[in-house]
């Protein structure tokens, strides 16, 4: 195999992996833990052997789906800051956090086994989330729109609490607005 073929093969493998994760996320959300891996492979346009090469067990696939969602959310913090002020980016990121929570709920049945194995921990996720929030807070402090005494882990804990307590999405939105109101600098 020449270098060009090897590069093409790796690119194809990466595309297959990403496609499997995307399809699995959608199908697990629709069908829960009962979705057959063969159906996921078929929908992704690959053979079951390709799925198993990338994800030897159902749990490794579910973990990959979860980690992709977490990474997408965390990476979006810096992306939001490119086009908007830190205060607006922080509030937009909170809405993306809501989407992340909804995605976790959709795959909750499948995710339980991964959590039970210890492959995914709340502490690890909160650390990653706090780093993303810190990026937004630092930008807000630099702009003088966000209070400098706010701790990222407190924001994450508050967001988690909102989604544990909120009875419906509209209530969660109002509660995130209240949280945001407590984070911004007030001109007196």
Domain spans, the chain: 1-56, 58-188
Q: Which residues of the chain are under the pLDDT cut of 50?
A: none
pLDDT at 7: 65
- Identical topology for domains 1-56 and 58-188: no
Helices (H) and strands (E) in the chain, counts: 9, 0
pLDDT at 150: 97
pLDDT at 167: 85
Considering only CA atoms, which of 1, 188, 172 is closest in space to residue 94?
A: 172
pLDDT at 186: 83
Q: Which CATH architecture has domain 58-188?
A: Orthogonal Bundle (1.10)
Determine which helix (DSSP H) or strand (DSSP E) holds 12, and give its type and residue range: helix 3-31
pLDDT at 114: 84
- Counting Cα atoms < 13 Å in the Cβ hemisphere of 112 gives 8
pTM of the model: 0.85
Sign of the Cα torsion 51, 102, 123, 135 reads positive
pLDDT at 121: 85
The CATH T-level fold of domain 1-56 is Arc Repressor Mutant, subunit A (1.10.10)
């Amino acid at each position: 195999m020449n270098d060009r073929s090897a590069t093409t093969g790796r690119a194809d493998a990466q595309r297959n992996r990403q496609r499997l994760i995307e399809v699995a996320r959608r199908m697990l959300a629709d069908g829960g833990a009962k979705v057959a891996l063969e159906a996921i492979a078929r929908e992704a346009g690959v053979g079951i052997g390709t799925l198993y090469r990338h994800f030897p067990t159902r749990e490794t696939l579910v973990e990959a789906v979860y980690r992709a969602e977490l990474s997408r959310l965390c990476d979006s913090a810096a992306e939001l800051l490119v086009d908007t002020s830190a205060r607006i980016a922080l509030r937009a990121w909170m809405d993306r956090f809501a989407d992340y929570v909804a995605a976790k709920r959709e795959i909750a049945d499948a995710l339980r086994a991964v959590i039970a194995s210890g492959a995914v921990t709340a502490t690890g996720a909160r650390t990653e989330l706090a780093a993303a929030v810190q990026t937004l807070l630092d930008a807000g402090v630099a702009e003088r729109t966000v209070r400098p005494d706010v701790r990222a882990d407190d924001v994450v804990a508050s967001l988690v609490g909102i989604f544990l307590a909120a009875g419906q999405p509209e209530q969660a939105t109002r509660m995130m607005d209240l949280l945001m109101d407590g984070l911004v600098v007030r001109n007196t």
